[in-house]
Chain A
Amino acid sequence: MADAIRARVEAKRYGGKLVLAGLEIAVAEGEFVAVTGPSGCGKSTLLAILAGLDRHFRGEVQAPGRLGMVFQEPRLLPWRSAAANIALAAPDLDAAAVEAALAAVGLAGQGALYPRQMSLGMARRVALARALAVAPDILLLDEPFVSLDAESADLVRRVVVADWQARRPTVVMVTHDLAEAEALAQRIIRLSSTP
């Protein structure tokens, strides 16, 4: 099967500090890969590189197609409602489809809420709904279950798995929870800290 993502990171530095080095990653179309590693080892940095958001590194990356991204923080635009945040990312959706996207993450009827009116768990679910609303070819998830209560975490897990099974996007999920990675992913990429 063809690779959906190919990346070669020779070196990624912040200032003088080397964060990623000698990394080569290929993810097949429709594959579900987990990336684990200790905190600060460069997992979020890697996702930003894969997403094409960070171009300040030595190496190259190919990840064509529509992108859905759940950042480590929800990163909803605070001045837009939940529904508007989704509609901005997925302009093709009509109001009913946006509402359906919210309902899918357990937030039916909550579209008018602004990010400040939501709990962190709700905001993260809106962020997931936003990512899935674009029907992404590539879905990048940065610690999607962290700081969620058990119930929300379970819901997010089911929504992600359901989307993957239904549409077969290529998924790269960052997590530091090895059990989580083993339960969901077909393959685990372990990053180690770069000294």
Chain B
Amino acid sequence: MPPRLVWQALSLLLLAVVWHGAALVAPAATLPPPLEVGRALVVAVTQGDLLRHLGVTLARVGAAFVLSLSLGTALGVALGRMPLLDRILDGWVVFFLNLPALVTAILCFVWFGLGEAAALAAVAVNKIPSVVVTVREGARALDPGYDAVALAYRFGWRKSLVHVVLPQLAPYLMAAARSGLALIWKIVLVVELLGRSDGIGFKLHVFFQNFDVTGILAYSLAFIVVVQAIELAVLAPLDRMTRAWRG
């Protein structure tokens, strides 16, 4: 096992120990010890509906992720390559960048009803601006020298996109994707808590009303594990792949 992983495991173990220590001194209902949360997690997976809610939330995260990344990338490239458009819309980007997730979620539900579309829109509106900023940076950094190569050798737009533009944008897209995953799932929970009747966020709401800290921690734990697994199994290898040529 590489030393970095050993350290990470030790670090998490330390967290569990500190947690356990804190649970010993805290009143029982406010902070259950890690083992009890672990047991609750197993029960929720095997007998409860954790997997169903997890699936629902992941589907929302996936949809919001694809929506935000694709719209944000298109907009970011456009702004990065068209200075006039950039000047006109820059204020908008700043505005939406600073709009709290809670506000967009509330407004989307008020305006579009408590539906799935409103939920997705709320998440996308929150994430798109930061994708735009990241990708715009990448689009500004595109080397016109390679455009000249593509033009001289008649690549056409599709080949240019795949072989000239995207490889240069890849690090920026990866950065947007990784920070996107981290941000989106948190916003999805807020949106679910406010206006959906399934998903992890909804369950957390129910646990909150019942003052069920064990349930809250068990569901959170499950979700952290899944999101980390996606990061490690999908995004990190993808990142390495797009960097391979740099050596």
Interface residues of B (CB under 8 A from A): 145-146, 148-149, 151-155, 159, 163-164, 167, 245-247
Say whether A53 contacts B152, CB under 8 Å: yes
A77 with B152: in contact, given A114-B245, A116-B246 (CB under 8 Å)?
no
A75 cross-chain contacts in B, Cβ below 8 A: 145-146, 148-149
Contacts of A80 in B (CB 8 A): 163, 167, 245
B245's contact among A48, A78, A89, A134, by CB below 8 Å, is which? A78
B145 near A73: Cβ-Cβ < 8 Å? yes
User: How would you classify the secondary structure of chain A's contact residues: helix, strand, loop or mixed?
Assistant: loop
B40 to chain A, nearest CB (A): 48
Contacts of B152 in A (CB 8 A): 51, 53, 67, 69
A residues engaging B (CB < 8 A)?
48, 51-53, 67, 69, 71, 73, 75, 77-80, 88-90, 114, 116-117, 130, 134
Q: Which of B148, B155, B167, B246 has a CB less than 8 Å from the CB of A71?
A: B148
Name the residue of chain B whose CB is nearest to the CB of A67: B152
A78–B146 Cα distance when bound, in Å, is 10
Docked complex Cα distance between A89 and B245 (Å): 19
User: Given known contacts A53-B148, A71-B148, A75-B145, is B153 in contact with A116 (CB within 8 Å)?
Assistant: no
Apart from the given pairs A51-B148, A116-B246, 16 other A-B contacts in the complex at a CB distance below 8 Å: A48-B148, A53-B152, A67-B153, A69-B153, A71-B148, A75-B145, A75-B148, A75-B149, A77-B146, A77-B149, A77-B164, A79-B167, A79-B245, A88-B159, A114-B247, A134-B153
Report whether A88 and B151 are in contact in the complex, using a CB–CB cutoff of 8 Å.
no
Of the listed residues A79, A90, A117, the one surrounded by the most CB atoms of chain B closer than 10 A to its CB is A79
List the A residue with the shortest CB-CB distance to B168: A79
Chain A residues lying within 8 Å of B163, measured Cβ to Cβ, are: 77, 80, 88
Does B145 contact A71, Cβ atoms closer than 8 Å? yes
* Nearest B-chain residue to A91, judged by Cβ: B159
Chain A's closest residue to B245 (CB) is A79
Do A52 and B151 have beta carbons less than 8 Å apart? yes
5 residue pairs A–B, Cβ–Cβ below 8 Å: A73-B145, A75-B146, A90-B153, A114-B247, A117-B247
- Give the docked Cα–Cα distance between A73 and B149 (Å): 11
Contacts of B164 in A (CB 8 A): 77
Give complex CA distance A134, B152 in Å.
11
CB neighbours of A79 from chain B (8 A) = 167, 245
Considering the chains assembled together, what is the distance between the CA atoms of A80 and B162 in angstroms?
A: 12
Instruction: Report Cα–Cα, A69/B167, bound state, in Å.
Output: 22
Smallest distance from the beta carbon of A128 to chain B beta carbons, Å? 14
- Complex CA gap A134/B149 in Å reads 13
| Interfacial chain B residues near A77, Cβ < 8 Å | 146, 149, 163-164, 167
Once the chains are docked, how many angstroms separate the CA of A117 from the CA of B246? 10
A89 CB to nearest chain B CB (Å) = 4
A78 and B149 CA atoms in complex are apart in Å by: 12
Q: Return chain A residues, CB-CB under 8 Å to B167.
A: 77, 79-80
Alpha-carbon separation in the docked complex, A114 to B155 (Å)? 20
CB A51 to nearest CB in B, in angstroms, measures: 6
Which of chain A's residues has its CB closest to B151's CB?
A53
Q: How far is the CB of A132 from chain B (nearest CB, A)?
A: 12
The chain A residue with its CB closest to the CB of B148 is A53
- Chain B, Cβ-Cβ closest to A114: B245
* Distance from B147 Cβ to chain A, minimum over Cβ atoms (Å): 9
